[in-house]
Amino acid sequence: MSTAPATAPARTAAAAVSADLGPTLHITGPRLARQDEILTAEAIAFLTELHHRFGGRRHDRLADRMRRRFEIGNGHDPRFRDDTAHIRDDADWRVAGAGPGLDDRRVEITGPTDPKMTINALNSGASVWLADLEDATSPTWRNIIGGQLTLRDAIRGELTHTSADGRAYRVTAEQTPTIVMRPRGWHLPEKHVEFTDRAGRRLAASASLIDFGLYFFHNARALIDAGRGPYFYIAKIESREEARLWNDVFSFSEEYIGIPHGTIRATVLIETLPAAFEMDEILYELRDHCAGLNAGRWDYIFSIIKNYRGRGARFVLPDRSEVTMTVPFMRAYTELLVKTCHRRGAHAIGGMSAFIPNRRDAAATEHALQKVAADKRREAGDGFDGTWVAHPDLVAVARAEFDAVLGERPHQLHRRRDDVEVTAAQLLDLRIGRPVTEAGVRENVSVAIRYLEAWLRGQGAVAIDGLMEDAATAEISRSQVWQWIHQDRRTQEGSAITVDHVEGLIRDALAQAARYEGDRFDDAAEIFREVTLRPEFPAFLTLPAYSRYLTDND
């Protein structure tokens, strides 16, 4: 089936605009096998149009984020917006809702888009596979283009994989999960693609537009023909204006290739503190394209720390392991999400269970599986329509808990949760009443460095100490350490958490690491120092790590 735009006039008109105004894309990444199947002239023309039309607005939205973060840091707490009260108060509007293949989302498996992980996900028995080009993918050029090729092959039933030891993998499931692809967030550049704008400036392209554009352009029609559709998870959104930008991207893209308006479906991760105050507004802006919201728990915790890192002792969180879904601010956020979604006909999808089963320790695995089951039982009982897991062995555990509540129903949209009332104060109630421990500080340092070392080698989802770590959990680890240092915290055992103290823990982590020739631990430690021990707080650790440390040879 052809992947070119549906009508020649649309393509010709788009090309004429670019010719008149001069914006162009330049591919600067190393040449890879089969890249011409993805980086076609037609696809590059489409990407150019996306950047021409939406690149400037993206920069405006990123500037808004900086202003908002500055305001919160200076004592202006987020609140429900007065200028959008009419949207929240209007009980009549609804979102588009589930597209074909998305009505039942009770178990979603997440993971990167390398061939082996893709095949595992498609054979997992989950309802949905979140094909992740964001936090679970290290954005080497090989991973980005390779991920697009993997998705292309999987959608057409052509994906196979042979491992280094000669084992062959293929998709064997009769019914595979519906694919929902997650592009990288608005804040991330794609340094291997440069965009020359109308002023002649040569800028790094938007990773969001590259990831979305390539996947949509090549696969939208094939997905529709298969009875599903081009579906996306949208990450790191902070406001209705950012949601409106995505909605305009979707509408333009549908028109460009000639498919009906509203064919695209997006599920938005509510994983930033500002977005928690604008759930209704985000749904409203995306209403023609929206399927639901997801409670992105790890990034949400990171966003809390990032925004309140300098606001005093009452905003300091304890050990990462103590910030569970049952603490007050997390309960308020998730209950508001379910209520908001169901009032608007949108699915509410629960958070990640990151546990990785260890077949060599049956007792520990059984204990952890009981905790996973309890977490999913709570979500199903709260009214969520589905949930996330990181490993195929957790699919059955999560499904059992949702089956017990949903029965034959595909979702719980009938549960309006009118009993829930959440205030701004409840969303900002960070009291947990637990200490920071020496073990907690040490764990954060060790996990972040080990994760970063793997990320620099091209692995974005890494099993560490029985949990699947990704960029979001690494962000929690480094931002907590930064905050503990700058808020002059002491551990429960009495140690002052200082730069010198953390330097000692970095040395310990390096000494305990399984070193080998060519490893990236020294670089990982340097990145950790840069994003944790300096006075400045980078908004995302992946920005300096990507621009200066992630090389094309990895």
- Residues classed as catalytic: 182, 470
Helix (H) or strand (E) holding 290, with range, is: strand 290-295
Q: How far is CA 95 from the centre of its chain?
A: 22
- Token readout for 209 is 């537009």
C-alpha 280/C-alpha 336 separation (Å) is 10
Please give the C-alpha separations between residue 456 and each of 101, 112, 515, in angstroms, as whole numbers. 36, 15, 15
Q: How wide is the angle at C-alpha 144 spanned by C-alphas 198 and 477, nearest 5°? A: 105
Amino acid making up residue 543: L
Secondary structure (3-state) at 19: helix
Amino acid making up residue 40: T
DSSP 541: T
Q: How far is CA 148 from the centre of its chain?
A: 17
Please list the residues that pair with 190 across neighbouring strands.
Answer: 205
DSSP result, 153-191: HHHTT--EEE-TTS-EEE---SSPPEEEEEPPPTT-EEE
DSSP 296: -
Residue among 151, 103, 153, 149 nearest 130 (CA): 151
Phi first, then psi: give them for residue 48, nearest 5 degrees. -60, -45
Longest pairwise C-alpha distance within the chain: 71
C-alpha 49/C-alpha 13 separation (Å) is 11
C-alpha 481/C-alpha 490 separation (Å) is 11
C-alpha 223/C-alpha 229 separation (Å) is 5
Please give the C-alpha separations between residue 424 and each of 79, 277, 418, 427, in angstroms, as whole numbers. 6, 8, 17, 5
Phi first, then psi: give them for residue 178, nearest 5 degrees. -70, 135
**Number of residues assigned to the chain:** 554
What number of H helices and E strands is found in the chain? 19, 15
Phi first, then psi: give them for residue 449, nearest 5 degrees. -70, -45
Identify the burial level of 76 via C-beta atoms within 10 angstroms of its C-beta, where 0-12 means exposed, 13-18 middle and 19 or more buried: exposed
C-alpha 462/C-alpha 235 separation (Å) is 20
Phi first, then psi: give them for residue 282, nearest 5 degrees. -65, -45
Residue among 276, 269, 225, 274 nearest 246 (CA): 269
Decide if 220 contacts 230 (C-beta within 8 A): yes
Side-chain-side CA neighbours of residue 199 (13 Å): 5
